[in-house]
Amino acid sequence: MSLPEPISDAADKAQDLYSETADKAKDLYETAADKAKDLYGDAADKAHDAADKAKSLYSDAADKAKDAASKAKDLYGDAADKAKDLYGNTADSVKDASDKAVKAYNNLSTTQKVLGAAFLAAVLGYLLAPRKK
């Protein structure tokens, strides 16, 4: 059974419209998918770059901290060596006097230490105060 000509033409037009609409929908879908991939790809690339920069900054900071610690250790060692040399060059009578002073200070009670510090502060304040003419 064949369809009359106007109905057949209408069916062909409907088929053509359906095909065109399907093709346009497919093109729009592909375009949207490509744009999404581009956006996602750019975001992923930027996130990856940021992670690399953060890793590099962390590594640089860690290296600088290690260098600073090494320099501090060296400076401490130099200062300790100089202090030992200075102590070695000090006269024995000065060493004995300082040892006695340290022992005497360590034997003081806390109250004696506080009162002594207050007395020294008062004397220094009196000596450093401006004089009246």
Q: Are residues 104 and 58 in the same domain?
A: no
Taking only the tens place, the pLDDT of each residue in 51-62 is 888 888 888 888
> Is residue 10, in this structure, part of any structural domain at all?
yes
Determine the structural domain holding residue 123 and report its residue range. 92-133
**Cα–Cα distance, 73 to 67 (Å, whole number):** 10
The residues, any chain, with a CB within 8 Å of residue 49's CB and separated by 6 or more, are none
**Cα–Cα distance, 50 to 28 (Å, whole number):** 33
Number of domains in the chain: 2
Distances (CA, A) of 23 to 58, 100, 101: 52, 102, 100
pLDDT of residue 118: 96
> Is residue 123, in this structure, part of any structural domain at all?
yes
Q: Are residues 3 and 58 in the same domain?
A: yes
What is the 8-class DSSP label of residue 133?
-
As given in the structure block, the two tokens for residue 66 are: 């290690």
Please say whether the beta carbons of 11 and 3 come within 8 A: yes
Q: Are residues 60 and 103 in the same domain?
A: no
Q: Are residues 56 and 6 in the same domain?
A: yes
Whether pTM > 0.75 for this model: the answer is: no
Taking only the tens place, the pLDDT of each residue in 37-48 is 777 777 877 888
> Is residue 107, in this structure, part of any structural domain at all?
yes
pLDDT of residue 33: 83
> Is residue 75, in this structure, part of any structural domain at all?
no
Domain final residue pick, 18, 46, 65: 65
pLDDT of residue 103: 94
Taking only the tens place, the pLDDT of each residue in 14-38 is 888 888 888 888 888 888 888 887 7
As given in the structure block, the two tokens for residue 44 are: 């992923």
